[in-house]
Amino acid sequence: MTTKFLTFTLMGALLALTIGTLLPGEETAAIQRWLGANNQIHPLAHFVLFILISALLTSLLRGRAAWLPLAICLIPAIGTEWLQHFSFQRHPRLADVGIDMAGASMGWLMVQLGRSHFCRR
């Protein structure tokens, strides 16, 4: 994949994460009802988005320190929780940072395992 495509996809994922974080609690609940989902959609969405963000960062930053994508993912993980202070009916939780970083770790691991598997051939 090209660097431009990976960068564009990364920016889209970060934009979706930011917009989703700033939605008021009643808007989030309305989206969950529309999707027919329970309250677990928010943590799952963050987990999946952080898999994507971390995988993209790991791909874009190949050849640099292996821990760098995870360190960069910590910034939006903490930042999205901080932004919830300014959103109506939203409350920041440290557990959400853990969920975000679990997703980031999964994305990083998937890329690392994929590289080791395909580099052997």
pLDDT digits (tens, 9 = 90+) for 33-89: 887 776 667 788 889 999 999 999 999 998 888 899 999 999 999 998 898 888 777
The rounded distance, in Å, linking the Cα atoms of 13 and 112 is 20
pLDDT of 102 > 90? The answer is yes
Look at the block and give the residue holding tokens 């989206």: 31
Question: What range does the domain containing 52 cover?
Answer: 3-120
The rounded distance, in Å, linking the Cα atoms of 77 and 82 is 9
Angle, in degrees to the nearest 10, between helices 68-83 and 3-22: 30
* pTM of the model as a whole: 0.84
The pLDDT assigned to 70 comes to: 95
Q: Which of 70, 92, 76 is nearest to 18 (CA)?
A: 76
> Pick the residue with more confidence: 119 or 97?
97
The residue type found at 14 is L
**Dihedral angle over CA of 54, 57, 59, 63, nearest 10:** -120
Contacting residues for 33 by C-beta, under 8 A, at least 6 apart: none
Q: Are 60 and 107 in contact (CB under 8 A)?
A: no
The pLDDT assigned to 39 comes to: 66
Q: How many domains are there within the chain?
A: 1
The rounded distance, in Å, linking the Cα atoms of 107 and 48 is 9
